[in-house]
Amino acid sequence: MLETNTNQKKDIAVLIPCYNESQTIEKVVKDYKEAYPDATIYVYDNNSTDNTAQIAEEAGAVVRHEYAQGKGNVIRSMFKDIDADCYIMADGDDTYPPVPEMADLILSRKAHMVIGDRLSSTYFQENKRPFHNTGNRAVRWLINHLFNIDVKDIMTGSRAFSYEFVKTFPVLSHGFEIETEMTIHSAAHDLRMVEIPVEYRDRPEGSESKLNTYSDGIKVLKMIARLFKEYKPMLFFGSLAFILFIISLILFIPVLSEYFQTGLVPRFPTLIVAGILMLIALLLCVCGLILEVIVKKNRQIFELFLIKTKR
């Protein structure tokens, strides 16, 4: 529990999804119990083959199990099952310490989501996986430009959420792309995001990351493309339409030039292809316009739902 200005105690839930983190989970649970002495620590074990669940329970955590493999599936169960005024999400690998300021920002209603920014502190010095560093930079650049935001650490697992965010966030991801989905959801719905630097330290020796640089990176990119299409359909379909329009013009202009010079159209196949591409471009524009109207209507419904969810 945490006191507010009105002396009303607020519930804090610390959420720790885990898969084979027996080496570090005890320290993580104890660190968060010390940082948030009145909070409830939840450890959701995701089919661990070691004794992660037993160690977490002995350390004082409430242990539950999620049998659908993947971090996104775990987060979905956590958000569905647990009610609190403030949610602190952490990883069980002890790569960053708890930051009590996160809860303060949520409980004072200064943010719907607080992001623990590793990249502005020690991440690039501590992280020994160079392709992860490159991937983080690429994903950050892509999302910031597509969604017109300025978030420094897109894929961090150190976050805090308000009750409104948790109960209005539709979890669609199954794996490690969940953090990226959270950021895009906040950007698309103008939910307040605040970043604070957190110290990053690499995994201790003997502890292995479950993140696969290539396969999980591809999943993240596919998820970004899908959400970009769903949240910004006019820009998505309009961009495709513009590309096809330019190709159509490139094919059509020489045919038109020959017609003016000779009065003949000797390259009918090229003319037909140019016409088909132009037609597809027009259809894509229409699709974008229709979907844009639907997105705006869904946005209105979301805002009403957000008001009703206010705790």
Query: pLDDT digit of tens for each residue in the chain (311 aa)?
Result: 444 444 467 899 999 999 999 999 999 999 999 999 999 999 999 999 999 999 999 999 999 999 999 999 999 999 999 999 999 999 999 889 999 999 999 999 999 999 999 887 666 665 656 566 677 788 889 999 999 999 998 888 899 999 999 999 999 888 888 999 999 999 999 999 999 999 888 766 666 666 666 777 788 888 899 999 999 999 999 999 999 999 999 999 999 998 888 888 888 899 999 999 999 999 999 999 999 999 999 999 999 999 988 87
List, as one string, the DSSP characters of 25-60.
HHHHHHHHHHHSTTSEEEEEE-S-SSSHHHHHHHTT
* Same domain (yes/no): 218, 237: no
* Same domain (yes/no): 176, 78: yes
- pLDDT for the residue 131: 60
* Same domain (yes/no): 92, 238: no
Eight-class DSSP state of 165: H
Q: How many domains does the chain have?
A: 2
- pLDDT for the residue 135: 73
- pLDDT for the residue 1: 44
* Same domain (yes/no): 167, 240: no
* Same domain (yes/no): 118, 37: yes
* Same domain (yes/no): 87, 217: yes
Q: Which of 211, 228, 245 is the last residue of a domain?
A: 228
Q: Which of 228, 255, 274 is the last residue of a domain?
A: 228
Range of the domain at 28: 12-228
Q: Which of 183, 202, 228 is the last residue of a domain?
A: 228
* Same domain (yes/no): 223, 237: no
| Per-residue exposure over 267-277, b if at least 16 CB sit within 10 Å of its own CB, e if not | eeeebeebeeb
Q: Is residue 256 part of a domain?
A: yes
* Same domain (yes/no): 76, 57: yes
Q: Is residue 6 part of a domain?
A: no
Q: Return the bridge partners of 44, or none.
A: 17, 64
- What CATH number did the domain enclosing 91 receive? 3.90.550.10
Rounded to whole angstroms, the Cα distance separating 254 from 265 reads: 10
CB contact set of 194 (below 8 Å; sequence gap of 6+): 105, 110, 111, 113, 114, 115
* Same domain (yes/no): 181, 243: no
* Same domain (yes/no): 130, 258: no
* Same domain (yes/no): 59, 165: yes
Q: Return the bridge partners of 89, or none.
A: 15, 159
Q: Is residue 180 part of a domain?
A: yes
* Same domain (yes/no): 63, 154: yes
